[in-house]
Structure 1
Amino acid sequence: MPQAPDRRPRGIRNNNPGNLNYVGQAGAHKEPGPDGRFAVFPTPEAGLKALRNQLCLFMGRDRLKTVNAIIAKWAPPNENNTSAYAQFVARKIGVEASVDLGPATPTLIGNMMAAIIEYENGQNPYGSLIAQVAADLPTSGAAA
C-alpha cells in the first residue's frame, strides 16, 4: 500500500522552520527536486539553531536593528509581502516594526523565532524547544 504524502508545511518537513535557503550549512543538504532550494536539516533542533544563528548574524554582523530591516532581508519583497510579514512579527513580539530592538537576547531571539516559524508554516509545533535553543546564543556575530 502506498504511503500517504507528508502534508506538513515544507519548513516543518525539512526541519527548517525558518525556510532558510540552502547555502552549505553544516549538516544540511539541499531539498531534492526541481524546485528545491531550501536547506533540509537532520533534526528540528538543528533547523532551530540555524534560524537562531541567522537572526543573530542579521542583528550583529549586519547591524539590522528593527523588525522591518530584519524581515526585509529574511523575506525580500520580490518574493514576499514583506510589510505584512514584518507587521505580523512585530505584533507577535509586542513592538512597532520600526523600533530599535536593542541587543539580541535569548528572549528577543526566541520570540522572533516563534513568530517567524508561525508566519512561515502557519503553525509552531516546537514549544519549549525554541526557548532552549534561543538560550544558547552564539557569541560570533551576535549583537552586543
Structure 2
Amino acid sequence: MPITETRGVRNRNPGNIDYNSANQWQGQLKPDPAIEKRFARFDTPENGIRALGKLLLTYQRKHGLKTVKAIISRWAPAVENDTAAYVRAVEASTGTAPGAEIDLTQAPLMRGFVKAIIHHENAGYAYPDAVLAEGVRRALA
C-alpha cells in the first residue's frame, strides 16, 4: 500500500500556513483551488520552512509572544488542536522549560521549534537535516 504524503509535505508548506494574498512569501506558488483550497503552496520545502520561521519571528517581534505556549497558542488555536500537547512537544524538542522566555533568532532553538511543528503538523514527518537547516538559515537571513 503506498504511503500518502501529508498535505503540508505535498504543498511543501510543512507548517500548514494559510494562504493569504497579502503574504508575498519567497517561493510561494500561485493559488490553484483545484489543488489546494486553504493553504499556501511553495516551490521547495526550504522556502516553506523559511515562511514558517519568518512567521514565528513575526509572532515574537510584532506580537511580543515570548514563550512556547504563547507562540503555539497563536499558531495552533485550541479550536483546531490539542494545544497543550503541542506545547509540550515543542518544549521537549527545544529543551525549553515550561513558561521560559525564548529567542527564536538563535538558530538551534529555531531549528528545534520548526522541527517540532513539522513533526506535529505532518504526522511525524521529518525532513533531512540539510533541508531543515537551509530553511531555518533562510528564515534567519
Partner of 2:83: 82
1:138 deviation in Å?
A: 4.6
Structure 2 unaligned segments of length 5 or more: list them: none
1:14 to 1, 11, 16: 11
User: How many pairs were matched up?
Assistant: 136
Q: CA RMSD in A?
A: 2.4
1:82 alignment partner AA: T
1:104-133 per-residue CA deviation (whole Å, 9 max, x = no partner) reads 212211111111101111211232222223
Q: Which runs of 4+ in 1 moved over 6 A?
A: none
**Identity level (%):** 35
1:49-74 per-residue CA deviation (whole Å, 9 max, x = no partner) reads 11111111111111110000000000
**TM-score normalised by structure 1 residue count:** 0.83
For the pair shown, the structure with the greater C-alpha radius of gyration is: 1
TM alignment of 1:11-90, pairs within 5 A: 11-24=8-21, 25-26=23-24, 27-30=28-31, 32-33=33-34, 36-90=37-91
Structure 1 unaligned segments of length 5 or more: list them: 140-144
Measure the CA separation in 1 of the matches of 2:106 and 2:19: 26
Partner of 1:142: none
Tell me if the contact between 2:90 and 2:116 (Cα under 8 Å) persists in the aligned partners: yes
